[in-house]
Structure formats: structure tokens, C-alpha cells
């Protein structure tokens, strides 16, 4: 059951420990953010004017977020990441405790509740910077890309549980302020889990750990002069302004629609729907959209949908009213629904699609500044955007001619700019990626040793010390060079690399390859077992073997192909020839493997025909190479066959070059003046392969 869970998340065995802790941490992170958000929003909206006090609170919250992230970024690199994270988490615990117990010591609790609302943004920034900072330091780019969508699903689960539990708790008599207690417990647990994570996986000596000394800090001038980083920052600023404008309209419409008693219930259920929609979208659509339509389309979906709903809200608010003073409560519900749908989509798609997709845009940034740039953008720039949004709403509210509907109107140009910047950012992504590749290629050019044959490239890959490279090379070798693959498996069966050793042993067992035995008794036992097996196989009649090969079941025909390795003779060879032309790829591959093992001349003409097949050419070539010198006359005859396929001719030259001996060398030399330059070039490659 647990193994199936890890397979579903695409997590390798040696990654289970750190990913498990990150999943549990993300659960308590979600629990903390959900409970504190509902408590703070409810207490603030119940006691303050959402039209005038809300934008000021948003702006101040953004300034506080900027200050928090500036301090975080300033200390990053100067002190260890572990000490920095623990310091910030203790600070969050202390401030949460003030929100929970401070009403006993503060006369005007309204100021405390205002302070609690303004702390939401800094809390979210710091706790997520710590979470993703840990993630980025533990895994390299390849691993991170594979598991990035899995490590924070605990946040969604915790949020769903929290948002559905809060109304039940409130109904049973729990005070809204008591939600801070749940949040306090969650953040303390988060701190303890982080300490455990840092002790086990963030200490020196870990394979993927990024050292603090490797993190280069960007100065303000460097940050502003980097065009691509500025595009990423503009995208964040515009999207956050759009988000805050929608939030402002939503909170105004919500307080018109619900009483103070109903408000926390509605906010809980609504936020639960946002999380559920986000979770479903992430599970069933995000990867599909990214794979089928690319990064550009993924990021323009949100602004396009929001433009549609914002135009709808504007029209409905204009005709039916948008608050109690401009229409009946029964009619302003249309404006409320349109705004609520805007918030549902912008919040859920931001979490499900925008955030994971946006992380790919960090890939082209130089690895030495990547972490610092990401910290600045996701911290300081995001907080700056929130402050700008709050300031713009405050500015609009200074003019009496503007109202809540005006903010909805001003949201439209922001969404259009969002769309345009996304397109520019995508082009910047492609250009920056290309520049990074050219730069990296130039940097390693002096260390490049050209390899001219597939064998040498694959052998170099499987001789690497990196587990992932070895396994990837073996998987390629299995498809491209089956004979070489089997030899490499035997060599790697006792590898020091755990995953490589496990992969090799599993494949050896699956393929039924015999490991070399030095022990004489074991050798005799294996010989006796083989003799007994041969005896059992010989008892199978040709008619029964033919019946198996004609069966409609794939497994029966595969069994027949395997049996032919011991039963191939003059009477049964036609069965193998038929199986080599079987329409089922698995059956045909098994038959080709048998043909490679038995090395019967009757199969060589079929193998040569299959050299033109993209699916079976490598298996056919491997069988012909193993046949050795006896197959050379067949290859020569096939090369000079009238109307022979050019691709087959090239492959025949390759195979000749892989068969050692004077005869193959003479055959190659006879063709050195062949009129087709591609053939001559392949002959030269083959001669180079044998070090002629």
C-alpha cells in the first residue's frame, strides 16, 4: 500500500525519508494558514469598514511583508539557513501567541485584530520561504522537477479538513479567537518537524544539498539590470494586484451578503471549495495542460478566465446593483456571484496552475543566483505588489466619484497587462534558456571528448557514479543495444550504487540471465538443472509447440518464443520465423531475442528485413552482430540487393563494423569508393570503431 503511494507520487526509495517529512510539514503549514486566515479575516471584517479600512490594511500588510522578506533575504547567506528558519519560526510562534492571548493585556482589541489581519501576508511569506528553501537545498533540478507537485499536497489536505471543520467547531460553541490556538499548535509542530528535517537531511554531506557558500547574492543594481528577472517580477506584481483587486471586491460583496454571525461559516466553506477545486485541477489537469500546451498557455488561462468573469461582474453590478445602497439584497446577489466566481478561479488556478508552472521559469536563471533570485521574487517582490495594490485601492477611494464597482472596472486593464506580460515573459524564458545552454556548452567545451559510436556513449553513461545517469543509460541501452545491455547488467549486479544494483538484479531475474559462477559445485548443479530442463522441454511435441504459437493469447505465443531457445531445430524453425513476424510487439521482441540466442541462418534474412523497422531494428541488429562472421555473406548480399533501402544499407555497414575479422574489414574497404557519401561516411565511422 505504501509502495503504491510512493509510486503515485513518483518518489524513489532513497527520497522517501525527506519527502515524508516535507509532506507532514506541508500538512501543518496548511492547518496553520487556514485557521489563522479564517480567524483574522472574520475578526477584521466584523469590526472594520471593508471599503476604507480594508485597502489600508492590505497596503500596510504588504509593507510588513516587504520588511519581513528584506530581513530574511539580508540574513540569508550571512547565517546558516537552519538558524535563519528557526529564528523566523520562533518569531511567528511568538506573534501568534500574542494574537491568541493578547486580548487580556490590550484594552482596544480592535487594534489587535487589525494587526492579526496585517500579519497574514508576512506569515504566509516566511513559512513558505522556509518550506521551499528546504526543498531547493535538498534536491537537484532533475529530482525537484519530478516531485515538486507532490511534496505540498499535505497543505491541500489540511486546508480541506480545516475549512470544513471550522463551521462545526463554531456551531459547537468555539469562539473565533480560539482558532488561533489551533494555529499555534500547528506552527509549533511545524518547527519541531523542521528541526528533525534539518538534523537528518540539511546537514553537510547530503548528495543533493546546496551549500550556502554556493548561493550568490544579487545586488539591487544586478537585480534591476537583469531583464529576465525583471519580467518575472512584473508578472508577480501584476498578478498580485489583480488578486488583491478581486479580493477587495469579494470582501465588500460578502459583507453585504452575510451577517457577522454568518461570515465565518461562509468564508470557511468558500475557502474549502477553493482548495478542493485547486486539488482536483492539480490532479487531473495541470500536468496535462503543461505537457500538451506548454508553459505559455498554462499562465494565460487565469487572466483570460478572469477577464470574462470581471466583465460579467461589471455588467451585473451596473444593471442590478452592487451593494445595499444601489439595489435590493435579492438583486445584488448577481454581482456577488460573479465576484465570488472570479475569486474562486483566481485563487484556485493560482495554486493549481500558476505557482507550479511559474517555478519552471526559474530554470534558465544561473544556478549560482537562482535561490537568491527566487527568494527575492517570491518574498520581497510579492510583498511589494501587495503594498502597491493596497495603495492603489486607497488612492481610488479618495475620490468620491469612485466606488466598489470602479475597482472591478480598474481590474480589467490590470488583467490585460497580466496577459501581455505573460507572453513577453515566455519569450524571455526561451531566450534566456538558449543563452544558458550556449554558456554551459562553452564552459565545458574544453572537457568534451567526442564519442562517435552509440556503444561508447552508452558505456560511458552506465560507468558514471550518478545513479540516475546509470539507470537512464541502462534503459536506453535496453532499447538500442540489447546484447550490450545484458553484458552491462552482469557487470552492475554487484554495483556499489544501491538503486543501480537493485535495477540490474531485477532485470537479470526478469530476463533469466545466468550470473557467472566460480564455484564448481554450483556450476555442476546449474548444468544438471539445465539438462533436466532440456529433458522436460524435449518432451513437448512439435504439434503442441505449434499450437502455442498459433494461440490467440499473447502469453501463449510469448511462451512458445521462449521455448524455441531450447527446441529450435530443422523441424521447428518455421515456428520461430512466424513468431518473428507476429503482429504483437512483445511476442516479436521475445522471438527476436530467441533468434539472437540460437543464431540460426534461417532467421538472418528476416532480421535483415527488420532493419528498416523503427520498433525492431535495434533488436535485429543485435542478433546479426552476435551471429559473427557466418552472417557476413548474407549482409553483403543484402547490401547489393536491387532497390535496397538506404537506411538498411547504412545499418548493414554498422553491423559489419561490429563483427571483428579480416573478412568484415575487406568488405568495408571494397565499398570505400561507393557513390553515396553517407555510406562512405558510415564506413569511416565503422573503421574508426575498430581502431583501424
pLDDT at 450 over 60: no
Coil, helix or strand at residue 79: strand
Average pLDDT over residues 88-94: 94
Question: Taking Cα atoms as reference points, which of 303, 343, 293, 8 lies closest to residue 149?
Answer: 8
Asked if residue 419 lies in contact with residue 304, where contact means CB atoms within 8 angstroms, the answer is yes
Q: How confident is the model at residue 233, as a pLDDT? A: 92
pLDDT at 638 over 60: yes
Q: How confident is the model at residue 211, as a pLDDT? A: 53
Q: How confident is the model at residue 5, as a pLDDT? A: 77
Residue located via cell numbers 448577481: 334
Q: How confident is the model at residue 533, as a pLDDT? A: 45
Average pLDDT over residues 440-445: 58
Per DSSP, 354 falls in state: I
173: alpha, beta or left? (left if phi > 0; alpha if psi -120 to 50): left
Average pLDDT over residues 187-201: 92
Average pLDDT over residues 455-471: 70
Q: How far apart are CA 26 and CA 106, in angstroms?
A: 33
Q: How far apart are CA 29 and CA 438, in angstroms?
A: 40
Percent of the chain with pLDDT over 90: 11
Q: Cα angle at 316 between 315 and 321, to 5 degrees?
A: 115
Q: How confident is the model at residue 469, as a pLDDT? A: 76
Average pLDDT over residues 275-299: 82
Classify the C-alpha dihedral 383-384-389-393 as positive or negative.
positive
Instruction: Encode pLDDT of 576-608 as tens digits.
Output: 889 898 988 889 988 988 988 888 999 999 999
Average pLDDT over residues 80-85: 90
pLDDT at 534 over 50: no
Q: How confident is the model at residue 537, as a pLDDT? A: 46
Q: How far apart are CA 281 and CA 528, in angstroms?
A: 59
Sequence-distant (6+) residues with CB within 8 A of 129 are: 69, 72, 375, 378, 379
Instruction: Encode pLDDT of 114-139 as tens digits.
Output: 899 999 988 988 998 898 888 878 87
Lowest mean pLDDT among 70-84, 85-99, 431-445: 431-445
Residue located via cell numbers 544494483: 501
pLDDT at 521 over 60: no
Instruction: Encode pLDDT of 348-404 as tens digits.
Output: 888 888 887 887 888 788 777 877 888 788 878 888 888 898 888 888 877 777 777
pLDDT at 187 over 90: yes
Residue 518 binned pLDDT confidence (cut-offs 50, 70, 90): very low
Query: Which runs of consecutive H residues, i.e. helices, occur in 202-286?
Result: 220-225, 227-257, 263-281
Coil, helix or strand at residue 345: helix
Most confident option among 22-36, 37-51, 213-227 = 22-36
Residue 174 binned pLDDT confidence (cut-offs 50, 70, 90): confident
pTM of the model: 0.58
Lowest mean pLDDT among 350-359, 476-485, 518-527, 550-559: 518-527
Instruction: Encode pLDDT of 639-691 as tens digits.
Output: 888 888 888 898 898 888 888 888 888 888 888 888 888 889 888 888 887 77
Per DSSP, 76 falls in state: B
Averaged pLDDT score across all residues of the chain: 81
Q: Cα angle at 426 between 246 and 408, to 5 degrees?
A: 15
Q: How confident is the model at residue 28, as a pLDDT? A: 92
Query: How is residue 660 written as a grid cell?
Result: 571483428
Q: How confident is the model at residue 523, as a pLDDT? A: 45
79: β partners: 76
Q: How confident is the model at residue 448, as a pLDDT? A: 47
Instruction: Encode pLDDT of 29-46 as tens digits.
Output: 989 988 998 889 888 888
Report which secondary-structure segment, H or E, holds 54.
helix 53-75
Which CA distances in Å does 610 have to 114, 558, 588, 651?
Answer: 76, 19, 11, 11
More confident site: 10 or 174: 174
Instruction: Encode pLDDT of 501-513 as tens digits.
Output: 888 888 777 766 6
pLDDT at 531 over 80: no
Amino acid at each position: 500500500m505504501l509502495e503504491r503511494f510512493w509510486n503515485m507520487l513518483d518518489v524513489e526509495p532513497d527520497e522517501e525519508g525527506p519527502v515524508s517529512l516535507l509532506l507532514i510539514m506541508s500538512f501543518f503549514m496548511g492547518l496553520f494558514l487556514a485557521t489563522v486566515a479564517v480567524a483574522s479575516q472574520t475578526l477584521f471584517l466584523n469590526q472594520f469598514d471593508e471599503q476604507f479600512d480594508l485597502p489600508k490594511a492590505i497596503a500596510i500588510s504588504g509593507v510588513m511583508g516587504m520588511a519581513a522578506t528584506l530581513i530574511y533575504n539580508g540574513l540569508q547567506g550571512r547565517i546558516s539557513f537552519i538558524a535563519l528558519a528557526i529564528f523566523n519560526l520562533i518569531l511567528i510562534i511568538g506573534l501568534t501567541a500574542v494574537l491568541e492571548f493578547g486580548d487580556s493585556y490590550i484594552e482596544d482589541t480592535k487594534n489587535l485584530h487589525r494587526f492579526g489581519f496585517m500579519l497574514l501576508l508576512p506569515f504566509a511569506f516566511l513559512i513558505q520561504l522556509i518550506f521551499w528553501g528546504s526543498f531547493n537545498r535538498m534536491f537537484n533540478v532533475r529530482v525537484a522537477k519530478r516531485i515538486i507537485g507532490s511534496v505540498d499536497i499535505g497543505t491541500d489536505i489540511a486546508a480541506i479538513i480545516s475549512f470544513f471543520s471550522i463551521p462545526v467547531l463554531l456551531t459547537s460553541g468555539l469562539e473565533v479567537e480560539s482558532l488561533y490556538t489551533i494555529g499555534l499548535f500547528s506552527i509549533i509542530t511545524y518547527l519541531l518537524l523542521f528541526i528533525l528535517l534539518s538534523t537528518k537531511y540539511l546537514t553537510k554531506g547530503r548528495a543533493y544539498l546546496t551549500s550556502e557558500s554556493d548561493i550568490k547574492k544579487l545586488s539591487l543594481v544586478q537585480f534591476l539590470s537583469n531583464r529576465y528577472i525583471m519580467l518575472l517580477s512584473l508578472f508577480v506584481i501584476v498578478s498580485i494586484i489583480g488578486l488583491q483587486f478581486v479580493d477587495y471586491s469579494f470582501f465588500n460583496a460578502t459583507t453585504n451578503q452575510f451577517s457577522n454571525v454568518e461570515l465565518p461559516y461562509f468564508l470557511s466553506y468558500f475557502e474549502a471549495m477553493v482548495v478542493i477545486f485547486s486539488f482536483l485541477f492539480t490532479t487531473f489537469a495541470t500536468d496535462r495542460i503543461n505537457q500538451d500546451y506548454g508553459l505559455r498557455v498554462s499562465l494565460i488561462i487565469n487572466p483570460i478566465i478572469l477577464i470574462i468573469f470581471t466583465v460579467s461582474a461589471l455588467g451585473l453590478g451596473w444593471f442590478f446593483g452592487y451593494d445595499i445602497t444601489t439595489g435590493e439584497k435579492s438583486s445584488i446577489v448577481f454581482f456577488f456571484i460573479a465576484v465570488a466566481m472570479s475569486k474562486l478561479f483566481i485563487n484556485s488556478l493560482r495554486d493549481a496552475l500558476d505557482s507550479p508552472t511559474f517555478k519552471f521559469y526559474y530554470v534558465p536563471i544561473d544556478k549560482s543566483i537562482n535561490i537568491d533570485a527566487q527568494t527575492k521574487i517570491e518574498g520581497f517582490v510579492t510583498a511589494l505588489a501587495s503594498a502597491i495594490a493596497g495603495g492603489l485601492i486607497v488612492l481610488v477611494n479618495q475620490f468620491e466619484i469612485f466606488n466598489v464597482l470602479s475597482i472591478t472596472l480598474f481590474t480589467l486593464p490590470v488583467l490585460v497587462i497580466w496577459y501581455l506580460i505573460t507572453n513577453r515573459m515566455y519569450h524571455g524564458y526561451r531566450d534566456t534558456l538558449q543563452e544558458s545552454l550556449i554558456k554551459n556548452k562553452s564552459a565545458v567545451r574544453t572537457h568534451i571528448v567526442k564519442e562517435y559510436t552509440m556503444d561508447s556513449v552508452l558505456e560511458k553513461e552506465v560507468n558514471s557514479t550518478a545513479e540516475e545517469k546509470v539507470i537512464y543509460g541502462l534503459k536506453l541501452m535496453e532499447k538500442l543495444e540489447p546484447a550490450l545491455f545484458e553484458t552491462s547488467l552482469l557487470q552492475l549486479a554487484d554495483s556499489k550504487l544501491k538503486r543501480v544494483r537493485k535495477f540490474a538484479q531485477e532485470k537479470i531475474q526478469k530476463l533469466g540471465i545466468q550470473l557467472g559462477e566460480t564455484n564448481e559445485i554450483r556450476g555442476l548443479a546449474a548444468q544438471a538443472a539445465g539438462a533436466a530442463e532440456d529433458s522436460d522441454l524435449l518432451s513437448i511435441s512439435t504439434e503442441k509447440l505449434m499450437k502455442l504459437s498459433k494461440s490467440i493469447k499473447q502469453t501463449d505465443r510469448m511462451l512458445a518464443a521462449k521455448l524455441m531457445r531450447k527446441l529450435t531445430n530443422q523441424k521447428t524453425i518455421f515456428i520461430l520465423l512466424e513468431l518473428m513476424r507476429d503482429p504483437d510487439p512483445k511476442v516479436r521482441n521475445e522471438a527476436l531475442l530467441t533468434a539472437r540466442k540460437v543464431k540460426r541462418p534461417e532467421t538472418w534474412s528476416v532480421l535483415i528485413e527488420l532493419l528498416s523497422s523503427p520498433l525492431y531494428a535495434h533488436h535485429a541488429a543485435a542478433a546479426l552482430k552476435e551471429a559473427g562472421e557466418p552472417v557476413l555473406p548474407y549482409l553483403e548480399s543484402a547490401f547489393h540487393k536491387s532497390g535496397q533501402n538506404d537506411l538498411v544499407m547504412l545499418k548493414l555497414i554498422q553491423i559489419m563494423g561490429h563483427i571483428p575479422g579480416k573478412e568484415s574489414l575487406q568488405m568495408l574497404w571494397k565499398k570505400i569508393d561507393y557513390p553515396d557519401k553517407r555510406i562512405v561516411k558510415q564506413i569511416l565511422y565503422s573503421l574508426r570503431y575498430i581502431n583501424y
